[in-house]
Structure 1
Amino acid sequence: MHTVLFVPAVYLLLILTPFSNSWWTVGSYLVMDPNQTCKRANWSRGKMADICNNKPGLLNQITKGIALGQTECQYQFRYRRWNCTTSRRSIKKVMLRDTRETGFVNAMIAAGITFQVTRACTKGEQIGCSCSKRKKKKNKKNRPPLLEGEWDGCGENIEFGIKKSKDFLDTRYRKRSDMKTLVKLHNYVAGRLAIKKCMVPVCKCHGLSGSCTLRTCTRKMPTFREVGNRLKERFDGAAKVIAGNDGQSFMPEGETIKRPGRGDLVYSEESPLYCVPNNTLGSFGTQGRICNDTSQGEEGCGILCCGRGYSTYTEEIRVNCNCTFKYCCEVQCDTCKVNKRVNICS
Structure 2
Amino acid sequence: MDEGKKTRTWEEIPGRERKDRAVTPAVGLGARLLCSRVPGLTPRQRRICSRAPDAVVAVSEGAREGLKECRRQFSRYRWNCTLPSTPSPSPLSHVVLVGSREAAYTYAVASAGVTHSVTSACARGNISTCGCDHRKRNIYSSGGWKWGGCSADIRFGIKFSRRFVDARETEGDARALMNLHNNNAGRRAVRRTLRTECKCHGVSGSCTMKTCWVTLPPFNAVGSYLLQKYHKAKTVTLHKSRQRATPYLRLEHGRRRSRRPRRSHLVYIHSSPSYCDRDPATGSLGTHGRTCNRTEKGSGGCDVLCCGRGYNTHQYTRQWQCNCKFFWCCYVTCHTCREEAEEHTCK
TM-score over 0.5 for the alignment?
A: yes
Mapped to 1, the partners of 2:229 and 2:121 lie a distance apart of 27
Mapped to 2, the partners of 1:128 and 1:75 lie a distance apart of 32
Mapped to 1, the partners of 2:95 and 2:40 lie a distance apart of 20
Could you tell me whether the CA contact under 8 Å between 1:51 and 1:58 is conserved in 2?
Answer: no
Deviations 1:293-343 (A, max 9, x none): 111121011111001111212111113444668899x99642212111111
Could you tell me whether the CA contact under 8 Å between 2:84 and 2:280 is conserved in 1?
Answer: no
Q: Which residue of 2 aligns with 1:218?
A: 213
Report how far residue 238 of structure 1 moved: 1.0
Report the residue type matching 2:248 in the other structure. Answer: S
Q: Which residue of 2 aligns with 1:149?
A: 145
What is the root-mean-square deviation of aligned Cα atoms in Å? 3.0
Query: For the structure 1 residues 93 and 216, does the alpha-carbon distance in structure 2 shift closer, same or farther, using more than 3 Å as the test?
Result: closer
Report the residue type matching 1:228 in the other structure. Answer: G
Q: Which residue of 1 aligns with 2:203?
A: 208
Could you tell me whether the CA contact under 8 Å between 2:236 and 2:250 is conserved in 1?
Answer: yes
Q: Which residue of 2 aligns with 1:243?
A: 238
Query: For the structure 1 residues 308 and 150, does the alpha-carbon distance in structure 2 shift closer, same or farther, using more than 3 Å as the test?
Result: same
Q: Which residue of 2 aligns with 1:313?
A: 314
Secondary structure at the residue paired with 2:158?
A: helix
Could you tell me whether the CA contact under 8 Å between 1:94 and 1:282 is conserved in 2?
Answer: no
Report how far residue 87 of structure 1 moved: 4.7
The aligned runs of 1:204-283 (5 Å cut-off) are 204-246=199-241, 248-256=247-255, 260-283=261-284
Q: Which residue of 2 aligns with 1:37?
A: 40
Q: Which residue of 2 aligns with 1:53?
A: 50
Q: Which residue of 2 aligns with 1:63?
A: 60
Report how far residue 86 of structure 1 moved: 4.3
Report how far residue 89 of structure 1 moved: 4.8
Deviations 1:134-172 (A, max 9, x none): 432453xxxxxxx33211332111111111111111146
Report how far residue 248 of structure 1 moved: 2.2
Query: For the structure 1 residues 64 and 340, does the alpha-carbon distance in structure 2 shift closer, same or farther, using more than 3 Å as the test?
Result: same
Mapped to 2, the partners of 1:197 and 1:282 lie a distance apart of 30
The runs of 5 or more residues in structure 1 that have no matched partner are 1-32, 140-146
Report how far residue 36 of structure 1 moved: 3.1
Q: Which residue of 1 aligns with 2:179?
A: 184
Please identify the structure whose Cα radius of gyration is greater.
2
Give the stretch that moved more between structures: 333-342 or 276-285: 276-285
Deviations 1:240-299 (A, max 9, x none): 112235362222221249964222211010111111122333322111111111111210
Q: Which residue of 2 aligns with 1:159?
A: 155
Mapped to 2, the partners of 1:93 and 1:112 lie a distance apart of 15
Mapped to 1, the partners of 2:110 and 2:205 lie a distance apart of 43
Give the stretch that moved more between structures: 330-339 or 280-289: 330-339
Report how far residue 179 of structure 1 moved: 1.5
Give TM-score scaled by structure 1 length.
0.78
Could you tell me whether the CA contact under 8 Å between 1:110 and 1:169 is conserved in 2?
Answer: yes
Query: For the structure 1 residues 96 and 292, does the alpha-carbon distance in structure 2 shift closer, same or farther, using more than 3 Å as the test?
Result: closer
The runs of 5 or more residues in structure 2 that have no matched partner are 1-35
Mapped to 2, the partners of 1:93 and 1:37 lie a distance apart of 7
Q: State the identity %.
A: 37
Query: For the structure 1 residues 119 and 169, does the alpha-carbon distance in structure 2 shift closer, same or farther, using more than 3 Å as the test?
Result: same
Query: For the structure 1 residues 209 and 93, does the alpha-carbon distance in structure 2 shift closer, same or farther, using more than 3 Å as the test?
Result: closer
1:79 matched to 2:76: yes
